[in-house]
Structure 1
Amino acid sequence: MHGSHLLLFSGLLGAAPALAQAQDAPRLTRIETAGVSVLPASLIAETARTVLKDKSLTPDTLRSAFEAIRALYLQRGYPLAQVVNYQLTPDGALTLTVAEGRIRRIVVEGIHHTRPFVVREALTLREGMVYRTDTVQQDKGRLGRLGIFSEVVVTGRLPEENEIADTDSLGQVDLVVRVKEAQTSNVAATVGYGDQSGLVGFVNLTDANLFGTAQQLSAQWQRFGRVFLDNNGFLVQEDPRTAFDITLQRPSLGPKSLAYGVSIYDQNTIFLPTFGTPVETLRSYERRKGGKLQVGRPLGGVWSAALTARHDSVGYDPVPSRLDPPVDALSRARATVGAVGFTVATDTRDRLDSPRIGSLNRLTFESAGSVLGGNRTFTQTSLDLRRYSPLALPKKPGSVFAARLLGGTSTGDVPLSEQYFLGGFDLLRGYEFFSVRGDKMLLGSAEVRIPLGADTTGVAFVDIGNAWLPGQSVSAGGLKTGGGIGLRFQSPVGPIRLDLALGNRSRTYVSLGQSF
């Protein structure tokens, strides 16, 4: 692209008034600039003056000055700027006209379902602004993190020669945003029917680009009942248990736009996006009914913040003795949680799903009390740090090293349902679902992700962490370790994850989505 500019402008330079030979060429007496806006005009003049000092203003010396100005702009992040015209008087007065690379128009290519305003609102760059490399990269990252594009390219394109009407058109550029839309509507379901239980199963409907607006809709439904042998050896059929969760979210599209999220739920169990026989755990008997509201906006650059509020009625149905329930914690499990909080985050990931480079750092704080009708007082603080780095593996382009450090702590009268739970397909793999709990938690995870084909990725992972009950001291000696290998398959219903993990024993997980 830069070479094209030099070819485009070389004709204009050659058409300028012919310069005298070296013996007749004037020396510089003064210098003025035109078209300069993003850098100080005095800096441009001084750059040229440094090159031309005590030299005859021949074509070669002038060309050196023009290249020095171009290099200065390039160093400051403006790769399209350069001198496109000049005037030189016999007494050595030099006037330079600089074209800084202003955006003539924005061209969006590759969208079919997505509304054009989604792309335009996500851009910081606008028509009339000067093309700048770091701003282009920020806009590209913001578009990638919307989660609705599998590929994003943002670049400058020079107008065709027949589109250049006059000197003022020189140096202008079209900002081209080229995207490939991802599969954003997914349906996952395992449904069955029993004479006694009726309809049972799990249904998950998601659309990450609702009506092409980048709004995200998620609707989950789950209903199942278990059959087991009681203490007397009789077969017992549990009453089916039902749950639902509906969430609507709008991400922040641009540097000044609001983000929001609204959730309503009535959960008589914990949603587990896994395939296979339903897993019975302590949290299978957890009840949660309520809603949550979140409103946020960017703070500038890669920073963002959000305020949250929720109202939950929580508790537990009677837990069978075969699960060895925590009697003391269950006796105080029923509560009304009214809480407000905030989240502050930085996000430089190149994409929302399966990032290849960048980081996510998120600090979350929540305070529960009498606000919003709550009857428990406690606070929770958590920190989530994630890093993604490309790996230069032979014959395996696209390999990624992903790492995560997650920690949390609570103070006050924390209900059982609000404690931290580890174990299962997502946090501390190789241990029983939700078998590790406490009011303090620490978890570290690392994965090496290696592409094996167009839609298949191999993964090797390790998890190290633990949770500590009230009164227990956090100790490195008490950390638990799990590790294993897995596969990730891209499918019409989203990423399918198969993991074989070894913790306190070997376990196999088939689930949806990336781990982090």
Structure 2
Amino acid sequence: MNAASASLVTAALLLGPLASAQTAPAAAPQSTTSQPPQTQTPQAQTVSEVVFVGFTVFEAAQLREALAGRVGVGAGQAATPAQLEDARSRLAASYPEVGFPFSPQVKLSTEATPQGLRVTFTADESAPISRVEVTGAASLSAAQVSTLFKSLADARRVTPASYEATLTALAKAYSDAGLAFRTEDVRARLEGTVLKVSVTEPLVAAVDLSALGEGVSAGALRTRGGQVLNTDAVNDDTRTLSNLLGRPVTWGAAPDAAGRLTVTFRPLESATAERVRQIEVSGNRSVSAADIAKVLRLQPGDVASPQLAQQDYYAIQKLYDSRGLVLVPSDDSLSFENGVLTFRLREAQIAGYVLNWQGDKPLLREDVALRQLPAVGSVFTRDSLRAGLFSLQSFDNVQITGQSSRALDPANPERLTFVLDLGPRPRSVPISADVSYAPQEGLGASVGYGTNNFLGTGNGLSVTFGAGGSDVNDRFSGSVNYTVPWIQADFLDFRARPTSLSLGAWSNVSGNNTLLIKGEDGVATAEDTGRQYSVRSTGASVGLGRDLSRNVSATAGVSVAQRRLTLEPYKAGDSAAVTGENRTTYQDDAAARAELPADSTTALTTLGLRFDNPNGAVPTFGARLNTTLGYGFGLQDGGTTRLSWGQIEAGGSAYQGFGRTLEDGTRQDVLAARVNAGTIVGQGGESNLFRVGGGSPNPAYELRGLPNTAYGTSYLTTSAEVRHNFGVKLGGVVQGIYGLAFVDAGDAWTPGNNANNFGLNVGYGVGAQVNTSLLNVQFAYGLNSSGSGKFTLRLGNFW
């Protein structure tokens, strides 16, 4: 609710019950005294404190004053249960009296304290709705009206804030159409769960030209009786009449008893009959003079009309507003002298920021916080500030609890200082834990720590450590990664444009890998030996990232890795294959070891380009595109074989939301689709292959429902998902629960290897994802074309 509406409410409580009209303040109550009686009665108790909970649209101090003055419920006053109930009912009744469509539930509770009775009024400023019915908005199309009220209906609940936001959007739609509109001409009421909205459009009953003298006809005017008042048409008529008479003309509209308007044109006696010789515009840094000229009604040669000049300034404001910019009016915004009409524009600028931390305990270094926000001295735009606030709140322990702006320099009202109230975000300890069990692998566990605001620096740190069962007594894995999202260095434009640095190191073990029979070219085929092996991968990486534009970024990286492979012992239940003329069995370790991929030590350099414009961490709109080029080299077989290869990977994903619009502006349902592909050219070695199948931290390699992992020097995967947001949030821990249905398809293969040709694998199924402050987990069950099924688990957010 805006300040004016809040004032009406508190005035209503001060003066008594309000009248039913939304445009008039309340009538005074029928009372013979200005103060309620203070006589102590057996039921009366002295009030020590009055507390208001949930009244987000009211000033608590004003409410206390109103209740104390008119109802006798205030600190130090003796109040009876009847007076307390009267105060409660008045609070609830105030909402529809000032134009809101419902009376919220207001609860009364009392608590006896040594100081007296503590009185608490708790309001639930929301009400459930099933649909919205709108009548009377005949000048707007049905599609426009439906769109305007859709977010209100989709939310399934109405609040004062959401209702007022809808009225603001309705007013803008009328304004964009050039039509007059007043929010007081909207009546709304909640009948059961149906919100019924009635709009009364201001109709013109007649046009009065009598003040302009004889001989002035309405025939050439656009304004007509029986039409909705069109402000564009009336202003055009004002210009026409001013030029016709050679003197400024102004207009006004007065309602009759039925509410219909008489539009009256009359000469503006106080203005001089001077014509516009020239129009000048200054201060327009963000909008061109040519674009501004297109919205001006007054032109050189026209009679100078103060009213039309003011309307032209409003038109310029509207143009700025359409581009997310703000004009700040001042005393010198508009002037006319010696035939020159001058518009002095003051574009809102960011003069600075004030960060108020809860308890004076900053959770983020000030220079890091300010880097997330639009630069001081830049032109203010709503989009840039919104993006900056989103970036600031992306730190996992920071939230914005309030914001405001003010002009500290009266001489430069366009220079705005933004005040941000900041505090800790409710969340759990940033430590994740995972326990798993598989019959062949046994019990496994991992623990991790992750934050994107390590010690308030705004840098990211993640550490993981895990242990699990192993057939070769190689049980432990670990990794560490440190990211500086914005390097602050006096080098090139690093301070002006975000450039990131990431450092990583790892040593991980992966067991129970399927050992495949090699082909004549030494590359694994799709034929299984029935044996398994473990891989220990140890390495380090360094990477740089740089924002090229708002949605485009580039990356460069170098990684070095050593891979050591160990044949796992033959276990009861393994089905070792038999091959060759001599019927070699792979139960024999020597035979199986001959099929084992070679150990290797490699280095890989990469360059990447990414386009990213989804509308959130769980996107319901937008697209992502990425491509990575890499060159690798190294040694295998103990240094006897040199490796050298190039590789390229590319992918894209798109998102289209549908269904209900949620409170954060996203849709409840989304259709998501992706495609990814890659290939290796050259001698990459036996271990440097693409592996697709099952769940994967990298969704490009994911094929849910596939019973086995596919290997090859090329891969192609694609997926389509329908995701549903159940809208469940539990405290600061569970941030979202989602259901999904998916179809995955693809394969990995080696071109030219007849034993490992491309074969389309298809998996389909359903799953669920739970996003928490600790970690995001996706469970899925997929079926494949052979009819078998497989559970998969993936950590991380949606792709």
Q: Which TM-score tier does this pair reach, normalised by the shorter chain?
A: 0.7 to 0.9
Distance verdict in 2 for CA 1:409–1:490, change over 3 Å: same
Deviation of 1:417 after TM superposition, in Å, equals 2.9
Rounded to whole Å, the distance in 2 between the matches of 1:305 and 1:62 is 49
Rounded to whole Å, the distance in 2 between the matches of 1:459 and 1:306 is 32
Q: Residue 389 in 1 paired to residue 628 in 2?
A: no
Rounded to whole Å, the distance in 2 between the matches of 1:180 and 1:387 is 34
Answer yes or no: is the 8 Å Cα contact 1:255–1:300 preserved in 2: no
Q: TM-score, structure 2 length as denominator?
A: 0.52
Match of 1:296 among 526, 534, 545: 545
Corresponding residue number in structure 2 for 1:135:
384
Q: Which amino acid in structure 2 is aligned with residue 481 of structure 1? A: V
Larger radius of gyration: 2
Answer yes or no: is the 8 Å Cα contact 2:712–2:756 preserved in 1: no
Answer yes or no: is the 8 Å Cα contact 1:337–1:375 preserved in 2: no
SS at match of 1:103: strand
Moved more, 175-184 or 311-320: 175-184
SS at match of 2:315: helix
1:168-207 mapped onto 2 (5 Å cutoff): 168-170=412-414, 172=416, 174=418, 181=425, 183=427, 185-190=430-435, 201-207=445-451
SS at match of 1:500: strand
Distance verdict in 2 for CA 1:119–1:20, change over 3 Å: same
Match of 2:299 among 39, 44, 52: 52
Answer yes or no: is the 8 Å Cα contact 2:472–2:568 preserved in 1: no
Answer yes or no: is the 8 Å Cα contact 2:280–2:342 preserved in 1: yes
Corresponding residue number in structure 1 for 2:466:
222
Moved more, 255-264 or 30-39: 30-39
Q: Residue 354 in 1 paired to residue 588 in 2?
A: no
Answer yes or no: is the 8 Å Cα contact 1:103–1:172 preserved in 2: yes
Q: Residue 418 in 1 paired to residue 688 in 2?
A: yes
Deviations 1:33-92 (A, max 9, x none): 343333345764x45766333322222221232133223333444244667622222x32
Q: Residue 268 in 1 paired to residue 519 in 2?
A: no
Answer yes or no: is the 8 Å Cα contact 1:262–1:294 preserved in 2: yes
Deviation of 1:363 after TM superposition, in Å, equals 0.9
Deviations 1:452-488 (A, max 9, x none): 2233211111211111124248999821111111112
Rounded to whole Å, the distance in 1 between the matches of 2:442 and 2:687 is 29
Q: Which amino acid in structure 2 is aligned with residue 349 of structure 1? A: P
Rounded to whole Å, the distance in 2 between the matches of 1:86 and 1:393 is 45
Corresponding residue number in structure 2 for 1:121:
371
Rounded to whole Å, the distance in 2 between the matches of 1:472 and 1:150 is 54
Corresponding residue number in structure 2 for 1:460:
741
Q: Which amino acid in structure 2 is aligned with residue 113 of structure 1? A: L
Rounded to whole Å, the distance in 2 between the matches of 1:475 and 1:61 is 78
**Structure 1: gaps (5+ residues):** 7-17, 227-236, 271-278
Distance verdict in 2 for CA 1:394–1:167, change over 3 Å: closer
Moved more, 99-108 or 74-83: 74-83
SS at match of 1:119: helix
Deviations 1:318-344 (A, max 9, x none): 255648799799555222212212111
Q: Residue 469 in 1 paired to residue 750 in 2?
A: yes
Match of 1:259 among 495, 500, 513: 500
Corresponding residue number in structure 2 for 1:430:
705
Match of 1:500 among 781, 788, 791: 781
Identity %: 21
Q: Residue 509 in 1 paired to residue 792 in 2?
A: yes
Deviation of 1:245 after TM superposition, in Å, equals 1.8
Rounded to whole Å, the distance in 2 between the matches of 1:474 and 1:213 is 53
Rounded to whole Å, the distance in 1 between the matches of 2:269 and 2:793 is 79
Match of 2:456 among 203, 207, 212: 212
1:274-285 mapped onto 2 (5 Å cutoff): 281=514, 285=534
Deviation of 1:28 after TM superposition, in Å, equals 0.7
Rounded to whole Å, the distance in 2 between the matches of 1:79 and 1:201 is 55
Corresponding residue number in structure 1 for 2:598:
333
Deviations 1:225-247 (A, max 9, x none): 34xxxxxxxxxx64243222222
Q: Which amino acid in structure 2 is aligned with residue 343 of structure 1? A: G
Distance verdict in 2 for CA 1:165–1:77, change over 3 Å: closer
Q: For the aligned residues, what is the CA RMSD? A: 4.2
Q: Which amino acid in structure 2 is aligned with residue 483 of structure 1? A: Y
Corresponding residue number in structure 1 for 2:679:
409
Answer yes or no: is the 8 Å Cα contact 1:266–1:290 preserved in 2: yes
Deviation of 1:264 after TM superposition, in Å, equals 1.3
Q: TM-score, structure 1 length as denominator?
A: 0.77
